[in-house]
Structure 1
Amino acid sequence: MRILVVENDDRSANYLLRGLGESGHVADSVPDGETALALLCEGIYDIAIVDRRLPGIDGIELVRRLRAAASALPVLMLSGLGSSAHRTEGLRAGCDDYLAKPYAFSELLARIEALGRRTDRSRRDTLLRVADLVLDTRARTASRGGVPLNLQHREFLLLELLMRHAGQVVSRGMLLEAAWDYAFEPRGNIIDMHMHRLRRKVDKDFPIPLLHTVPGAGYTLRAPA
């Protein structure tokens, strides 16, 4: 999943980014509510982790404005204020979950995964199929024709995006957003290099190709007619 961490404490933000990255997610962070609101309204994130105490608009107000903008994005609020009244205020503001500090990262990860399962059906599916290509997002495995595919982390993220948009053109920009965070500065043809390696693993030993280049537009994954 692609996750936005809204946290103004650098140490806390870096801790979350590192843990989320090691758990297979793509995570970005911003230190204030105004910037977070603008990014979250773009629709590119699956979940937001929001600290309650933020400069400018605080976490509660950020969630209220997000809901006022008709966004259903799942939000997990983190806060040092953990009383029943504080939790109730957060949930009534529109948070989907509320976790008091200090917390165990394993619990935070479990709550994130639970929130991810509540999103729309197309995003919830953990077993994706296109022709004889199968991707299990929960087990982090892929196979074609029953033959396991040894995918690197970014290759897995790219293939997941292509399979969720099977039959559609996926731009290089979309692929970049799916597998790299905002701090990454792409150089040269890095997307095409990764896609070349991915194509070799998906199509090389099979008679019918599934992954295709769309000149000037991006890539598409489609089942044979």
Structure 2
Amino acid sequence: MHVIVLNHCYIFFLHISKGMHWLMRVLVVEDEVRLAGFLQKGLMEAGYAVDIAIDAENGDALLSENSYDIVLLDWFLPGKSGVELCREWRQRNIHVPILMVTARDNTREIIKALKYGADDFIQKPFSFEELLARMAAHLRRTRVFSALPKLTIDDLVVDVARREVRRGEEPIYLSAREFELLTYLMKNVGKVVSKTAITQEVWGFSFLTNTNLVEVYINHLRKKLNCGSKKPLIHTLRGMGYVLKVLDA
């Protein structure tokens, strides 16, 4: 991926092959017509290809029919909330990065959105430069993950490019956030990683250290990885963090 900064706008191109580039594609799900128009104009000027949906139903249809690099999803939508729509997408194993746009500043509600699968949030009113910077960060992380080789420990195999996980011959189906958490642990096999390090690397926030969000996701991941196997791989070191390793018999 190439990034060009022109007049303080970020221009994104995805390199496909020699001499050929595609614009990064964004889906904006926003029912406020004025804000939707502002976002479409600004993002197109920044070099993105943009589709607009004014409600959850339209947004779901567009995402089902097209491939997007990132989604900007409003919290409040007619018919169905953006949080519920996000949850449904993750349940359907749709892994596109989702940035929630919200006027809420309630930490509990924000954590709820993150648990349901949102990758990030930005609070209204927001700076357009901040929005571009947040989008750029998630797009960079997505490209880094897709360039990684297969990661293995014991009988667990993670194909980062294909976003596939297997333990032995059995496929394991993870949510987008569970997959990123496992990938981070796999990249640090045998090393103790703290709760703070996990929240900063996987969620991009440090304030989440005062919640049980990490514990919840670790428990979900453990259950899925241990299903049908007697050999646990994720271990808790009280007061220190977590480590992914095979214990000596």
TM interval, shorter chain, is 0.5 to 0.7
The CA distance in 2 between the partners of 1:123 and 1:2, in whole Å, is 17
Superposition deviation, residue 115 in structure 1: 1.0
> Are 2:97 and 1:74 aligned?
yes
Distance 1:124 1:28, change over 3 A: farther
1:169-210 Cα distance to aligned partner (Å, 9 max, x none): xxxxxxxxxxxxxxxxxxxxxxxxxxxxxxxxxxxxxxxxxx
Q: What is the distance in 1 between the residues matched to 2:139 and 2:117?
A: 16
Q: In structure 2, which of residues 68, 71, 78 is the aligned counterpart of residue 48 of structure 1?
A: 71
Residue of structure 2 in register with 1:96 after alignment: 119
Distance 1:6 1:26, change over 3 A: same
> Residues 122 and 24 from structure 1, CA distance in 2 versus in 1: closer, same or farther, beyond 3 angstroms?
farther
In structure 2, what is the Cα distance between the partners aligned to 1:119 and 1:43?
18
Q: What's the counterpart of residue 8 of structure 1?
A: 31
1:38 Cα offset (Å): 2.1
Q: What percentage of residue pairs aligned between the two structures are identical?
A: 41
Q: How big is the alpha-carbon RMSD for the aligned residues of Structure 1 and Structure 2?
A: 1.8
In structure 1, how many angstroms separate the alpha carbons of the residues matched to 2:81 and 2:87?
A: 10
2:141 pairs with 1:109: no
Output the TM-score relative to the length of structure 2: 0.48
CA distance in 2, matches of 1:120, 1:69: 22
Offset at 1:32? 0.6
Residue 163 of structure 1: aligned partner: none
Spell out the pairing of 1:1-225 with structure 2 (5 A cutoff): 1-121=24-144
The structure in which a higher percent of residues are strand is 2
Matching residue's letter, 1:63: C
**Greater RCO (Cα-Cα under 8 Å, separation 6 or more):** 1
Q: What's the counterpart of residue 16 of structure 2?
A: none
Whole-angstrom CA distance in 2 between matches of 1:124 and 1:48: 21
Supply the distance in 2 between the matched residues of 1:73 and 1:105 (Cα, whole angstroms): 21
Contact 1:41–1:66, Cα closer than 8 Å, also in 2: no
- Structure 1: runs of 5 or more not aligned: 126-225
Gaps in structure 2 of 5+ consecutive residues? 1-23, 149-249
In structure 1, distance between residues paired with 2:147 and 2:35: 28
CA distance in 1, matches of 2:77, 2:91: 19
Change (3 A) 1:124 1:3: farther
Q: Give me the whole-angstrom Cα distance separating, in 1, the residues matched to 2:110 and 2:129.
A: 20
Shift of 1:123: 6.7
CA offsets, 1:129-181, max 9 Å, x none? xxxxxxxxxxxxxxxxxxxxxxxxxxxxxxxxxxxxxxxxxxxxxxxxxxxxx
Moved more, 30-39 or 16-25: 30-39
State the shift of 1:120 in Å.
4.4
Q: What residue in structure 1 maps to residue 152 of structure 2? A: none
User: Could you tell me the TM-score, scaled by structure 1's length?
Assistant: 0.53
Measure how far apart 1:118 and its partner are: 2.0
